[in-house]
């Protein structure tokens, strides 16, 4: 799935490039705007490689961004238990590729219709268009929720149910500003604080309770 992010921008890049070509000789000043828009779009859809830290029981951030929520929620759709939630807000300047927090199998992937509130609004977690993923590995099961925002209105899933992913491996992206939540077992030790900036696939977010073998 490496370098797949730019493929999600084909029609956007084509439209902006066409506008630039149409204006470069006729409206030079306007063509500068389209040239900048083209460069920003390429920048937005960047997909850098990331190296997860050592430790199989370390859950990494599923997305780049700012930690805005650390709390407990009743998750009654998939795992049907109380979980610890870490919410990450992604601005338009962050990398928007999402990565598996733990090595394991994709047990579930389900979209949910809804609204397009600002992703910084706490209600966006419940009311916005989203897609929930359940990953299960030797450290247990976690839920990742991709949530759209006022500008980000398309979730691009790349993995499918049954796929086995490595920790930090790409499984999808959200286009333009959004929110990603990681829901962990209550006995997981949270390693980040509110206001921390994290890098998807790289920053340790939690230490999972090691299950006896």
Calculate the average pLDDT of the chain. Answer: 91
Indicate if the pLDDT at residue 67 is higher than 70: yes
Average pLDDT of the residues in 78-101: 94
- DSSP element (H, E) containing 77: none
Average pLDDT over residues 6-13: 86
DSSP letter string over 42-58? HHHT------PPS-TTE
Mean pLDDT of 111-126: 85
pTM reported for the whole predicted model = 0.89
pLDDT at 121: 80
Distance CA 164, CA 135 (A): 9
User: Hey, CA dihedral for 199, 204, 208, 211, is it positive or negative?
Assistant: positive
CB–CB of 143/106 below 8 Å? no
Ramachandran angles phi, psi of 203, nearest 5°: -75, 125
180 within 8 A of 154, measured Cβ to Cβ: no
H or E, element range at 32: helix 28-44
Report the run of H or E that residue 11 belongs to, with start and end.
helix 10-23
The pLDDT value given to residue 184 = 97
- What is the total residue count of the chain? 213
Model confidence at 213: pLDDT above 60: no
Q: Is the pLDDT of residue 212 over 60?
A: no
Catalytic sites, residue numbers: 178
């Amino acid at each position: 799935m490496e370098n797949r992010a730019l493929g999600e921008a084909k029609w956007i890049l084509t439209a902006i490039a066409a506008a630039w070509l149409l204006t470069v000789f006729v409206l030079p000043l306007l063509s500068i705007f389209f040239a900048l828009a083209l460069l920003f779009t390429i920048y937005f859809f960047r997909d850098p490689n990331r190296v997860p830290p050592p430790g199989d029981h370390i859950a990494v951030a599923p997305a780049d961004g700012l930690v805005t929520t650390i709390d407990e929620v009743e998750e009654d759709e998939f795992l049907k238990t109380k979980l610890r939630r870490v919410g990450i807000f992604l601005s338009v300047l962050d990398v928007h590729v999402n990565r598996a927090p733990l090595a394991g199998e994709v047990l579930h992937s389900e979209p949910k219709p809804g609204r397009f509130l600002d992703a910084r609004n706490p209600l966006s977690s419940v009311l916005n268009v989203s897609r929930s993923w359940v990953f299960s590995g030797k450290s247990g099961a976690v839920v990742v929720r991709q949530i759209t925002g006022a500008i980000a209105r398309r979730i691009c899933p790349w993995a499918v149910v049954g796929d086995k992913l490595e920790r930090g491996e790409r499984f999808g992206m959200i286009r333009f500003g959004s929110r990603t939540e990681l829901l962990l077992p209550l006995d997981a030790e949270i390693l980040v604080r509110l206001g921390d900036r994290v890098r998807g696939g790289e920053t340790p977010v939690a230490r999972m309770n090691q299950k006896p073998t």
